[in-house]
Chains A and B, each alone.
Chain A
Amino acid sequence: MLHSPALRTAALQPRGVLVRTHRVAVQRAARLAALLVGLILLGGCATPPSNDPEALEAYKEANDPLEPMNRYFFELNYAADELLFKPLAGWYYVALPNFAQDGVRNVLRNVRSPVVLANDLFQGETDRAGVTVSRFLVNSTMGIGGLFDIASRMGLEYHDEDFGQTLAVHGVGEGPYLMLPLLGPSNPRDAAGRVVDMLFDPLTYIGIFAVDNIGLGAAVVDGVDTRARNLKTLDEIRKGSLDYYATIRSLYRQRRNDEINNGKTPEGGAPGLGDDQQSARPAGYAQVSAAEPLVPRRPKLAKALPLFIIKEPAGPLPALPQP
């Protein structure tokens, strides 16, 4: 978007001018959406196998009717990752010492507390909501604005929640698998959930009313941080895969189900390690996408996009893959 003359000028001008660029951005987004819909209609769909019952069973299990289009975007995302996001994350990884990277993540998690709290409450998880509130209070004060995760040392461990999980808890199905351009693996339920989560994210509003781009900045940093934590893991997963796309698809689904169940085995077993700690997020590109171009004064709609991906990906999995 840096190439857009309208935006470049807007960056240098007083605020009033921004209104027009918003309209430009909306139009552009609408055009992009139309293009995507067109792509889907134009043979993005796989045809279900009709004569072979085994194949039909496999087709249903994969739950990926848009597979050809998804694979196309997967390739694009992979290229963008190799060219841009991975090198960026590599620099970040090398330039910042570990404790600084942890500080970055702690701050980002702390500001996201309202989103987690809202979803704790929507899911009726009052205990976890209490943990979220306590964490926020402790870390904002003793943790110096969230820089240090003192609460974890007190037994108040971090957990993540989002509206996609809330929908799932209330019985909404995931729908077909979707590989979003730049945003990575998803499905209609989780994609819609991310939009709702933005409404609970204070950074969304700070971005709109006070200083432009706080939300964008946070999303970019979060994306880079997350990607940096997965540099090796994703490479290993790719090298160890016969079909990287299918592996990521499976990892994303299983990981989401685990998050929805808060790390508990659904069939009523396994309470021991119940609290989720989050970490392994196999979904490779999702986080990366945040590392979008840094545009000054990004219009609202476009700014919102990187927020879709506020997520932590995979920690190192002893035996797991990733992009």
Chain B
Amino acid sequence: MTAMRVIRTLLFAIAFAFVAAPAGADDANPAASAFMQSLGSHAIKELTDPAVAQSERQARFRMLLDEHFDMGAIAKFTLGRYWRTATDEQRTEFRTLFEDFIVQSYSARFSEYHGQGFAVSGSNATDGGTIVVHTRIDMPSSEDVRVDWHLRKTDSSFAIVDIVVEGVSMAVTQRSEFASVIQSRGGVAGLLDALRAKNAQSADSSAAQQ
């Protein structure tokens, strides 16, 4: 009888799996999907090789950022409403410091993610004119991570404007952190000081490791 029950449960579950299976994912913009698939495989190969020295990894990451991310738009977004009040010099310096900050705080993490698969599962357009490409990154020791890439069309290709990991936007997170620093340190100048200090400290510690 127990066996019967198990079989019945199994059949039920299988039947249910078919009913509940999601319809094939839409791919509104195959060109964007292809772009992400190739960039993703390329980036994983370049950045996650454990044999690569940290300085080399940072250099590669910076190249990817410059080439495939719209860093100007991202920097502007993360400064939020303070972009308007910042002076031209502050904006220029912020863009430089921001890129260094991203390179240093993010590139160390890639060494831990060697060997993941990267699969594009679809794309769609948003009201704001960006294209979202949905991917899953397959983590060896835990569940897949859902990553959405927000792209802007450029003349010849696409540029990434945001990365959303499990619903958490990098740009939004960075913006609210910066807003908090600006509040507590009395303005954009305070944020620039904090970034300068942080970058110097990260550079020191990565130099010490080598």
Contact = CB atoms under 8 A, between A and B. Distances in A.
Contacts of A229: 142
Contacts of A242: 177-178, 181, 191, 194-195, 198
B108 A236 contact: yes
A155 B19 CA distance: 11
B166 A280 contact: yes
A273 B177 contact: no
B6, B9, B125, B142, most chain A CB atoms within 10 A: B142
A55, A277, A316, most chain B CB atoms within 10 A: A316
Contacts of B5: 141
Contacts of B167: 254-255, 257-259, 261, 263, 280
A269 B132 contact: yes
A259 B143 CA distance: 16
Given A242-B194, A243-B177, A272-B124, A57 B81 contact: yes
A267 B130 CA distance: 13
B134 A275 contact: no
Nearest to A271: B26
A115 B121 CA distance: 31
Interface string A63-98: 000000000000000000000000000000000001
Given A134-B16, A317-B166, A318-B165, A279 B176 contact: no
Nearest to A257: B167
A304 interface: no
Nearest to A155: B17
B181 A315 contact: no
Nearest to A64: B180
Contacts, number: 187
B134 A62 contact: no
Contacts of A245: 180
A265 to B, nearest CB: 7
Contact of B176 (A62, A236, A267): A62
B165 A280 contact: yes
Contacts of A254: 167-169, 172-173
Interface in B106-121: 106, 108-110, 112-113, 121
Contacts of A130: 16, 20
Interface in A239-285: 239-243, 245-247, 249-251, 254-255, 257-259, 261, 263, 265, 267, 269-280, 282
B59 interface: no
A320 B21 CA distance: 30
Interface residues of B, number: 67
B181 A280 contact: no
B163 interface: yes
Contacts of B125: 269
A243 B184 contact: yes
Interface of B: 5-6, 9-10, 12-14, 16-17, 20-22, 25-26, 81-82, 85, 104-106, 108-110, 112-113, 121-127, 132, 134, 136-137, 139, 141-148, 163, 165-170, 172-173, 176-184, 191, 194-195, 198
6 contacts: A151-B13, A241-B105, A251-B168, A269-B125, A273-B136, A316-B139
Q: Which 5 A-B pairs have the closest CB atoms?
A: A258-B167, A240-B105, A272-B25, A246-B180, A272-B122
Interface of A: 54-55, 57-59, 61-62, 98, 127, 130-131, 134, 137-138, 141-142, 151, 154-156, 229, 232, 236, 239-243, 245-247, 249-251, 254-255, 257-259, 261, 263, 265, 267, 269-280, 282, 315-321
